[in-house]
Amino acid sequence: MTWKLNPQTVRKLKRFRSIKRGYWSFITITVAMLISLFGELLINDQALMVGYNGRWYFPALADTHPIKWLYKPSELRSGKFFGVVRDASDQPYTYAVNYRALQQSWEEKGSDNWLVMPFIPHDPDSQDFSEGVGKLSSPSREHEHYLGTDDAGRDIAARLFYGFRIVMLFALGFTLMVFFISSALGCLMGYFGGLTDLLGLRVVEIWANIPFLYMVMIMVSVVPAKMGMMTRVLMLLFIMVLFSWTSMTYYMRASTYKEKARDYVAAAQLLGAGPLRIVFTHLLPNTISTLVTFLPFTVAGAIGAVTALDFLNFGLPEGTPSWGHQLRLGQEFIREKPWIIGSALTAIFLVLTMVTFIGEAVREAFDPKKFSTYE
């Protein structure tokens, strides 16, 4: 049995591919997102591979299977494991190994041991206070800080890269949750109508008039600081979704009103299908195109919202790689270190521009009439 796409869907996909800037923006964002998911292999202060005393080790993958079955992660990150007993001050070397220094030491001694570092050998949370580097250092190819360091000695390029992954995952999670709530409520309101629709509309109208930014700032400010980072991120996601689901509900309600008058809904009722089955099995798939056209713009809005909240220090927990935190730091040193804010603004501009191009292409592809001309 062969699986074939609906002819109408094929036409929409062809129309989407014909809009080059939207299509290539989608390809670029998708590839960048996939690369970011494996970011530890590109940007990390842990060696990808170490050849020590005739054996191979993989410190960057120390927390993954099956590596952690062979060695404890703490062992692979210990200086003693690779023969580093004393530090530069002739003190016992009890902390995590600095693989860049270890590589330099082996090269100076002419050792047969070797290691392979990632493209950018810095972690977004690791601080570099080696000679010639420190807080707010300038971009340096020699020290492999290509965009310099921030006020804590952390690599800016690494924090921008991981900030991209965090903000995109956050925006996608936000969009899926908002669409799930708004589509379910909008379809139920449109299908049942009457009192259900009337009460639902009043709730949506009241909830939509609550100021989003102020409520998020107030609720985030009362979240206990002792909570774990992941818990605080999920709390922020939940709070933002709580005050953002109303806008799509109107569109889903209107689409459901139009669709429920069609013959296939009456046929499903005659066959004994219940209301919930009709809503979620028949109506929702036929009204989902309404949501698809808003998908990229919702993602762009989520990116802008979480970046603004981070800038105001009401977003992601302090210390999390974030574009908003980078903007706030860049504002403080805009005259002395303009590349800090410049790199963050460039990243935000490129991502939002590509997401907007994708949105235009999707809207055009799912529009039954061509209102715009694209070359």
Average pLDDT value for residue range 141-164:
89
Provide the angle, in degrees to the nearest 10, between the axes of the packed helices 295-311 and 323-332. Answer: 40
Say whether both 87 and 188 belong to one domain.
no
Average pLDDT value for residue range 20-47:
91
Tell me the residue range of the domain where 169 lies.
158-365
DSSP string over 256-324? HHHHTTSHHHHHHHHTT--HHHIIIIIIHHHHHHHHHTTHHHHHHHHHHHHHHHHHTT-SSPTTS--HH
Q: Is the pLDDT of residue 6 over 80?
A: no
Q: Which of 117, 136, 169 is the last residue of a domain?
A: 117
Regarding whether 169 and 54 lie in a shared domain, the answer is: no
Residue 9 included in any domain: no
Residue scoring higher pLDDT (32 or 85): 32
Give me the number of domains the chain comprises.
2
Is residue 331's pLDDT more than 80? Answer: yes
Does residue 30 fall inside a structural domain?
no
Name the percent of the chain lying above pLDDT 70.
Answer: 87
Give the contacts of 86 (CB within 8 A, at least 6 positions apart).
92, 93
Q: Average pLDDT, stretch 73-86?
A: 61
Whether 64 has a pLDDT exceeding 70, the answer reads no
* Residue indicated by tokens 């929409």: 12
- Give residue 31's pLDDT: 95
Q: Are residues 343 and 244 in the same domain?
A: yes
In this prediction, residue 24 carries a pLDDT of 94
pLDDT above 80: residue 223: no
Same domain assignment for residues 341 and 219:
yes
pLDDT attached to residue 172: 92
CA distance 235 to 241: 10
Q: Are residues 253 and 306 in the same domain?
A: yes
Q: How far apart are CA 306 and CA 301, in angstroms?
A: 9
- Does 99 have pLDDT greater than 50? yes
Residue 239 forms part of a structural domain: yes
Q: Is residue 136 part of a domain?
A: no
> Which residue, 144, 118, 126, is CA-closest to 60?
118
pLDDT of 356 reads 92
In a domain, 2, yes or no: no
Confidence band of 371 (pLDDT split at 50, 70, 90): very low
Report whether 315 contacts 236 (CB < 8 A): yes
Q: Bigger pLDDT: 93 or 363?
A: 363
Query: Does the pLDDT at position 113 exceed 80?
Result: yes
Q: What per-residue confidence (pLDDT) applies to 90?
A: 55
* Averaged confidence pLDDT in the chain: 82
State the virtual CA torsion across 302, 290, 25, 177 in degrees, nearest 10. Answer: 30
Write out pLDDT tens, residues 266-297. Answer: 888 888 888 888 888 888 877 777 778 788 88
What CATH number has the domain bearing residue 311? 1.10.3720.10
Q: What is the pLDDT of residue 67?
A: 47
Q: Looking at the structure, tell me whether residues 69 and 217 fall in a common domain.
A: no
